[in-house]
Amino acid sequence: MLRYSPFSTSYFLSRFCANKHRRVYRYLHWKPRHEYKLTRPELLDRITNILVLGRYDALNNLSFEFSDDLLDSVLQKLRLNPNACLDFFKLASKQQNFRPNIKSYCKIVHILSRARMYDQTRIYLYELVGLCKNNYSGFLIWDELVRIYKEFTFSPIVFDMILKIYAEKGMLKYALHVFDNMGKYGRVPSLRSCNSLLSNLVKNGESHVALHVYDQIIRVGIVPDVFTCSIMVNAYCKEKRVEKAVEFAKEMENSGFELNVVTYNSLIDGYVSLGDTEGAKRVFELMCEKGISRNVITYTLLIKGYCKQGKAKEAEDVLQRVKKEENVVVDECAYGVLIDGYCRVGKVDDAIRVRNEMLKGGLKMNLLICNSLINGYCKIGQVFEAKRLLRSMRDWNLMPDSFSYNTLVDGYCRESHMTEAFKLCDEMLHVGIEPTVVTYNTLLKGFCHAGAFNDALHLWRVMLKRGVSPNEVGYCTLLDIFFRMGDFDGAMKLWKHILARGFSKNTVAFNTMINGLCKMGKMIEAENIFEKMKELGCLPDKITYRTLSDGYCKVGNVEEAFKIKDVMEKEAIIPSIEMYNSLISGAFKSRKLSKVADILAEMQTVGLSPNIVTCGALISGWCDVGMLDKAFRVYFEMTENGFAPNLIICSKIVSALYRVDRIDEANMLLQKVVDLDLVPNLKSFKANLKSLEANAISLETQKIALSLDEIAKSLSVPNNVIYNVAIAGLCKSGKVGDARSAFSALLLTGFIPDNFTYCTLIHGYAAAGDVDEAFNLRDEMLERGLVPNIVTYNAVITGLCKSGKLDRALRLFYKLHLKGLAPNIVTYNKLIDGYCKTGNIRQAFNLKCKMIEEGILPSVFTYSALINALRAQGDTEESMKLLDQMIKSGLDENSVAFSKLVQNYFKRGDSPPFFLTHMVFLKRHVNEVLCRLITKIDQGRFLNFLTHFGIQNASESEPCSSAANSDAESSNSGQSFSSLFETVVFAYVMKNLCIHPQPAADLLL
């Protein structure tokens, strides 16, 4: 510090006066003394003074480093000088080793907003929001803005600005936090910010939140405008509350708002999302009445609505109408929606036609249209055309994106061309597109579809190794793979992992798990998962209930299936047509035939009309229970209602005719479905069909044949199913050689045989006694990579037994475990029956003991073979003991074997009371048997006969029907036990009334 002295003062004063005419600044210019030694307060004062004077270059002479504390201090001290603060903040932001923190940003935006420098404020608010890396920093920004607002006592306008920015950037959680709290500090959000918040909530799928926010906006006194109205109409529509949206729009109109085209477009979009094109048309007509101009979006939404319903032709009519509008110009988007609509229904030729029309009109191809066409080609199996289109995209200066490649990969996977799919993935990497989780999911599904489960598991491990996080689709696909492999333990282990990964409220995951368990017949475990689902707060949907119901139907427990439907209805979930179709199939499977009519009546009550699947279920059901007249009746009703029979329905009818030995009729229908000219070796077979006499064919079959003539062109190209039926029919007709010739000829046409094909041929040759050819087919099957299952070997064992080669059959039986197969009840029954017929009862009983040791309970067929063998040897006492043992074991009496057993006793002249005392269940079959066999006998004498054996109240019993089992290996043991009662009645009628009963098919229920 300078000392004060008279000398020094007078000296400087004299010098100043002597040079008073000189410029003063020459004597005020002095170099700062040791600037680097300035204290913190001195440095802050020096910086602020320089900034106030605008001498920014002088800052370069100061020796200091930028820090959060220095920047905050400068902003604090100069908060009333916005330009100085802004310049220093910019300088700080340009430093290489320093960036302003959240606190500094919060101060500068407050300072700038107070000075009405809104553009600069908005810029730094965007930068500030960009600093949000996590929830903590997001909420810290709000807390810091509030703290500085209190400290500076500035205007809270910055709150409204950050609300709008949060909304625009989709950071809705923070935007809602600001919206909820800014009122505490005297700031009501502006209408513009509110509209931005509402709009972005709807765009991000938070429409229900938008509705609540709108209520708050009204409560705080903010007056909405027409934009608010449009947003809220859109919100209601997104929530599927279109009627409420219409009501809201009317209220706004009554309040004086003039709704614009955006509002009406939202209403049209709402109806389209519900699939209600009629509602969309009503809104469109209302627009015309009110004179509101329609734009291209209006028409595009209508086109979208029709395409969504599969009505691409009607959608194209709308497009043609747009072209006639003077003020509307059709764009690529409208064409793209129509092209996509045609592709979704498999009409790619029409899509190409519309595409060419678009190009001719001067419009250009875009990526969305290309992707739609690629998807369309893949849907109809033309993956090579899809690939060609992918290659030609470059001609339109377009580059395929991830969706393009993933769609084509999916197409290859659907066709089981996995090698091509992986080549395409390599190409993706080559062009710089990384395979996503969607790509891996598609490949997993492809392996699953092809049955390459081990390859799928390997791909899953590769995906995890490459750091790709599986989503719910991948997990569900893997879960399905475990179930298809029959790996219950693996599925359960994966399920625990899925729950641990946080998918405990994913309905799709639960549905996949329940579906897998149901397919394995593990209904108890499926119910446990269902209960766990509700316990974890995951709401079951239509698919959940339908899957459970379908599972119970497939195991024949239709009563539980109906209980599931009742629970579903209590939850206000309306059963779908698919559930009713499943219940119909379940009713047939459990032989609850009276419920079929109840189900159909209920469908009519709830307004559901039978579809082609319903008709197929009814036809299949009636065929399975042997009531072909009812199946034919449904067929004719189906065709009258405009449904064309598909190959599945046709093959079912043909199979049913073969099963009841109406072979000529089955063959005639078969030639209507399969073009026999495609199979040269069947020309002789076709010639035989032409020689059939008309009177040998029933009237119903002739009608079906005529209907197939009319719709032959609409039937799909025959697939493996119908060809397998054809081969089975030839085998059933005893034409095994023709079946083999047809099989060889079909191989030349690209036919790919499966297990069923070979099993049918093997069964045919085995039944014909040609066991060597059966084994040759087994070897050929192995060469094709098909693994024979137990059904195949059962057919071979049956053939060996029929040929008397029991020792060879027994050797094959003991080799089954080496082939990874376990004998089932059919295997044991065939061997036991073979030994019984040769009189080797000891070996038959040894096999019975072995099957019990293996946990397989003897069936009625087992006991029947043993009892008949004992009686044949005259051992009546042992046969009676075995019979009593059978009845006490509680076996299912629904077996044709039991019927044959009774028939044998009648043939020997034995009295039936012993059996009838054990057959209280016969009461269930009285009505049907009466309908089938009794038309002209003395009803009184017959009823007295029933009463004599304890069969009373027959008229109140539930009708049941005989059924022929379609399984080739159990056709002798699976028919309804009603055939037993028919045997009893037939024997009584023949013996006591001496008349020949005629079936009364027209009286059947």
The pLDDT value given to residue 989 = 44
The pLDDT value given to residue 571 = 85
Q: Report how far Cα 95 is from the mean position of its chain's Cα atoms.
A: 56
d(CA 71, CA 100): 8
| Average pLDDT over every residue of 799-808 | 86
Q: How many helices (H) and strands (E) does the chain have?
A: 55, 0
The pLDDT value given to residue 747 = 77
pLDDT-based confidence at residue 1003 (cuts at 50, 70, 90): very low
d(CA 650, CA 711): 12
- Bigger pLDDT: 686 or 928? 686
The yes-or-no verdict on residue 266 having pLDDT over 70 is yes
Using CB atoms within 10 Å of the CB of residue 575, give its burial: 0 to 12 exposed, 13 to 18 middle, 19+ buried. Answer: buried
- Bigger pLDDT: 690 or 463? 463
The yes-or-no verdict on residue 685 having pLDDT over 90 is no
Look over the chain and give the mean of its residue pLDDT values, rounded to a whole number: 78
DSSP state of 958: P
Least confident of 39-43, 161-165, 364-368, 492-496: 39-43
| Average pLDDT over every residue of 252-260 | 86
The yes-or-no verdict on residue 680 having pLDDT over 50 is no
Measure Cα distances from 963 to 171, 348, 432, 895, 960 in Å. Answer: 65, 45, 62, 10, 10
- Bigger pLDDT: 305 or 939? 305
The pLDDT value given to residue 730 = 72
Least confident of 60-64, 128-132, 547-551, 949-953: 949-953
Q: Is 275 left (phi over 0), alpha (psi -120 to 50) or beta?
A: left
The pLDDT value given to residue 708 = 53
pLDDT-based confidence at residue 994 (cuts at 50, 70, 90): very low
- Bigger pLDDT: 764 or 915? 764
d(CA 419, CA 439): 14
pLDDT-based confidence at residue 231 (cuts at 50, 70, 90): very high
Asked if residue 509 lies in contact with residue 472, where contact means CB atoms within 8 angstroms, the answer is yes
Of 768, 750, 749, give the one whose Cα is nearest residue 760: 768
- Helix extents (H) in 541-611: 542-554, 558-570, 577-589, 593-605
pLDDT in tens, 155-177: 788 999 999 999 998 888 999 99
pLDDT-based confidence at residue 195 (cuts at 50, 70, 90): very high
Give 754-757's long-range contacts (Cβ < 8 A, gap of 24+): 754/720, 754/724, 754/786, 755/781, 755/786, 755/787, 755/788, 755/789, 755/791, 755/792, 756/720, 756/724, 757/720, 757/723, 757/724, 757/727
| Average pLDDT over every residue of 37-52 | 81
Q: Report how far Cα 402 is from the mean position of its chain's Cα atoms.
A: 22
Query: DSSP string covering 783-839, please?
Result: HTTPPP-HHHHHHHHHHHHHTT-HHHHHHHHHHGGGGT----HHHHHHHHHHHHHTT
Asked if residue 672 lies in contact with residue 705, where contact means CB atoms within 8 angstroms, the answer is yes
| Percent of the chain at pLDDT exceeding 70 | 79
Asked if residue 142 lies in contact with residue 173, where contact means CB atoms within 8 angstroms, the answer is no
The yes-or-no verdict on residue 386 having pLDDT over 80 is yes
Q: Over the range 452-491, which residues count as b (16 or more CB within 10 Å of their CB) and which as e?
A: bbebbbebbeebeeeebebbbbbbbbbbbbbbbbeeeebb
Global pTM value:
0.62
Residue 520, token pair as written in the block = 């394995």
The yes-or-no verdict on residue 209 having pLDDT over 50 is yes
- Bigger pLDDT: 215 or 857? 215
pLDDT-based confidence at residue 988 (cuts at 50, 70, 90): very low
Residue 271, token pair as written in the block = 């109806």
Of 796, 653, 667, give the one whose Cα is nearest residue 735: 667
Q: Over the range 132-141, which residues count as b (16 or more CB within 10 Å of their CB) and which as e?
A: beeeeebebb
pLDDT-based confidence at residue 929 (cuts at 50, 70, 90): very low
Asked if residue 746 lies in contact with residue 681, where contact means CB atoms within 8 angstroms, the answer is no
Q: Fill in the amino acid letter for 441.
A: N
Cα four-point dihedral sign 34, 35, 36, 38: positive
In this structure, the dihedral spanned by the alpha carbons of residues 989, 992, 994 and 997, taken in order and rounded to 10 degrees, is -10
Asked if residue 373 lies in contact with residue 388, where contact means CB atoms within 8 angstroms, the answer is no
Residue 960, token pair as written in the block = 């049941």
pLDDT-based confidence at residue 705 (cuts at 50, 70, 90): low
Least confident of 69-78, 625-634, 987-996: 987-996
The pLDDT value given to residue 259 = 87
- Bigger pLDDT: 205 or 699? 205
The pLDDT value given to residue 703 = 60
d(CA 922, CA 934): 16
pLDDT in tens, 516-554: 999 888 899 999 999 999 898 888 888 999 999 999 888
The yes-or-no verdict on residue 686 having pLDDT over 60 is no
The yes-or-no verdict on residue 881 having pLDDT over 90 is no
Least confident of 81-85, 141-145, 344-348, 954-958: 954-958
What are the residue boundaries of the structural domains of the chain, listed by start?
Answer: 541-606, 893-1005
- Residue with the two structure tokens 């101060």: 107
